[in-house]
A and B are shown apart, each in its own frame.
Chain A
């Protein structure tokens, strides 16, 4: 089956950049996603990238995709305390709407 791996925890200071990494195994992934989950809440789609792209920027968010190494990253510029949450990468397992989620990275932003 498909595996999607992430680091479990990341701590940064307010104002610094955060980089959350993700590796996946399914080479047929069409879209790759980053979702944010705040405590006790559902998931919020932050951004996604199509597999034929290397980079996508959306305000403070930059997504980098290395398809050869099956590596996806999310960079958050000027990290704020409100960015503290769990971040999940996800991929379509062979396309469509059925997603495989990563293990999640808890981001803690300190003052």
Chain B
């Protein structure tokens, strides 16, 4: 199946700094990628839909200035958590659709962010 890779898999940062997480589709082109946030023992919460070459679409309650999304190419989307605070600590997961509009998504391995 298609492969989606996230980097870094784990990051620890100080409060007030910014952290960038990358999501790459390795063997296919993805015009649309999705970013999720997952708290321990909870489901995935969709944060935003990343569209190649255009602005991301954010879900209600997600601050677009806090979570900057850039989808500059068909194989790369980035999520930047700006001025991170301890409450931003979470597991961030991306997914990409391999073209067909069927909802069959391929997920990255996830990135665990810990803000001290």
Binding site for B on A (CB under 8 A): 30-31, 33, 35, 40-45, 48, 88, 90, 92, 95-104, 106
Contacts and interface: CB of A to CB of B under 8 A. Distances in A.
B103 A97 contact: yes
Nearest to B44: A101
Given A40-B112, A41-B110, A31 B103 contact: yes
A45 to B, nearest CB: 6
Looking at chain B's contact residues, the main secondary structure is: strand
B6 interface: yes
Interface in B6-59: 6, 32, 34, 41-44, 46, 49
Given A43-B95, A48-B103, 13 more contacts: A30-B103, A31-B102, A31-B104, A33-B103, A40-B112, A41-B109, A41-B110, A43-B93, A44-B107, A48-B104, A101-B43, A101-B44, A104-B42
B105 to A, nearest CB: 6
